[in-house]
Amino acid sequence: MPGRIGFRDRRDAGEQLATQLGTHRCTDPVVLGLPRGGVPVAFVVARRLDALLDVFVARKVGAPGHEEFGIGAIAEGWGDAVMSDSAALVGVGPVRFAELVRREQVELARRVGLYRGRRPLPTLTDRDVIVVDDGLATGVTAEAAVRALRMHRPARVVLAVPVAAPETVARLAAVADDVVAVLAPEGFNAAGSWYDDFSPTSDREVLDLLAETAARWEAQGGR
């Protein structure tokens, strides 16, 4: 638990995650943070690996009236959606789920425009793509991101997080080429319980980190 095993904040989580990722051989990696909370973690990982950083936007589809309970997810540039088994548990069938997806697509498009504007994703083909979030409970949003990124024909997609439920790591190991988690504790409850400071990440912080990375990359000649 925090103070014994865990992370001070997302920057500390990024340092620990980068150390673990350093043992993996990556080919011309690109680090993609899942906004918002995954971006501060990804920023540190990209800096430590001397890799390009960008965002990849995915959105949880919440249950009607209980939006925090994810029953599926969507991701940018992907015409499909992940629908979890939990949808049936709350009485959401395919037709209603499609309606919820359309609503979330509006917010997803807004966030893509906010974070990247008209700037396209970096070239991902034949590169190792490291997808970073600040923690995984069900992992449905990360799953949508990984499935969407397959369309870009990367060499590998590595899902990297500071902490995750062990059953989620096992399930997503069949979706990503590799899943790297600093902690996968039994009895996982919520990602935030493994952080001393799990304050919400703002849009402003995401934009500032992207701008700082772009400036560093430009100073290095865009390599």
Cα separation, 211 vs 39, in Å, equals 12
* Sequence-distant (≥ 6) Cβ neighbours of residue 126 within 8 angstroms: 27, 28, 153, 154, 155
Cα separation, 127 vs 164, in Å, equals 25
pLDDT by residue (tens digit) across 105-146?
999 999 999 999 888 999 999 999 999 999 999 999 999 999
pLDDT at residue 1 greater than cutoff 80? no
Cα separation, 23 vs 39, in Å, equals 21
Q: Please state, in angstroms and as integers, the Cα–Cα distance from residue 6 to each residue in 100, 126, 197, following that order.
A: 35, 34, 11
Cα separation, 145 vs 76, in Å, equals 8
**Burial of residue 2 (number of CB atoms within 10 Å: 0-12, 13-18, 19+):** middle
The CATH fold assigned to 10-219 is: Rossmann fold (3.40.50)
SS3 content of the chain, % helix, strand, coil (to 5): 40, 20, 35
Going by C-alpha positions, the residue among 168, 187, 186 that lies closest to residue 82 is 168
Determine contact, residues 140/82, Cβ cutoff 8 Å: yes
Cα separation, 191 vs 60, in Å, equals 16
Sketch the domain layout of the chain as residue ranges: 10-219
| Helix (H) or strand (E) segment spanning residue 60 | strand 58-63
Full-prediction pTM beyond 0.75? yes
pLDDT of residue 2: 42
pLDDT of residue 223: 55
pLDDT by residue (tens digit) across 10-30?
999 999 999 999 877 787 899
Residue found by looking up tokens 């014994």 in the block: 4
pLDDT by residue (tens digit) across 38-94?
999 999 999 999 999 999 999 999 999 888 888 999 999 999 999 998 998 899 999
Percentage of the chain exceeding pLDDT 90 = 81
Distance of CA 88 to the CA centre of its chain: 25
Cα separation, 132 vs 162, in Å, equals 9
Determine contact, residues 39/138, Cβ cutoff 8 Å: no
Crossing angle of the two packed helices 203-219 and 38-49, in degrees rounded to 10: 10
